[in-house]
Amino acid sequence: MTVFPYIAFNGNAEEAVNFYAKVLKAQLILRRYSEMPGGPAPAEEDKNRIINSQIIGDGFVFMASDYPASMAGQYKGGSDITLSITADSVAEAKRIFDELAAGGQVIMPFAAVPWAEGYGMFTDKFNVNWQVNSPLIPM
């Protein structure tokens, strides 16, 4: 069994997943509501929204999509989950932290902690919570 984090957005999934794929040096696969075969045609306001995307990197996969416009009132933002990354080095963790946190709100600045030489926590500009670790120190 494999479990993937899945983030819902309210019309800006494409912007968010392109940003994440760039920063995380990941492959991006996405499909719009208008590209779904079979079934009823999407509402006009949903045609260009993302019905599914996959951000596929070295050792990770997560998915994201847009809520249909008719469900916009149910959207709560990415604050219901936290994505946690453990990078291969302190330098890479710091780079990821700095790039993803840009335009967001830093909760805990990137610094040494008992479990890693570098760790930081923030909410990004898309309202998604993140934790970034350098390699973990054995306890």
Measured in degrees and rounded to the nearest 5, phi and psi for residue 39 equal 75, 180
Mean pLDDT score across all residues of the chain: 89
Query: Burial letters for 59-94: b for 16+ Cβ neighbours within 10 Å, e otherwise?
Result: eeebbbbbbbeeeeeeeeebeeeebebebeebebbb
pTM of the model: 0.80
Residue 38 predicted with pLDDT over 60:
yes
Mark which of 69, 99, 126 sits at the end of a domain. 69
Q: Residues 68-82: pLDDT tens digits? A: 888 767 777 766 678
pLDDT of residue 1: 47
Q: Which domain holds residue 101?
A: 77-139
Same domain flag for 104 and 139 = yes
Same domain flag for 64 and 46 = yes
pLDDT of residue 139: 66
Mark which of 37, 69, 101 sits at the end of a domain. 69
Least confident range from 17-26, 29-38, 72-81, 102-111: namely 72-81
Q: Above pLDDT 70, what percent of the chain?
A: 93
Q: Residues 96-128: pLDDT tens digits? A: 999 999 999 999 999 998 888 999 999 999 989
pLDDT of residue 89: 95
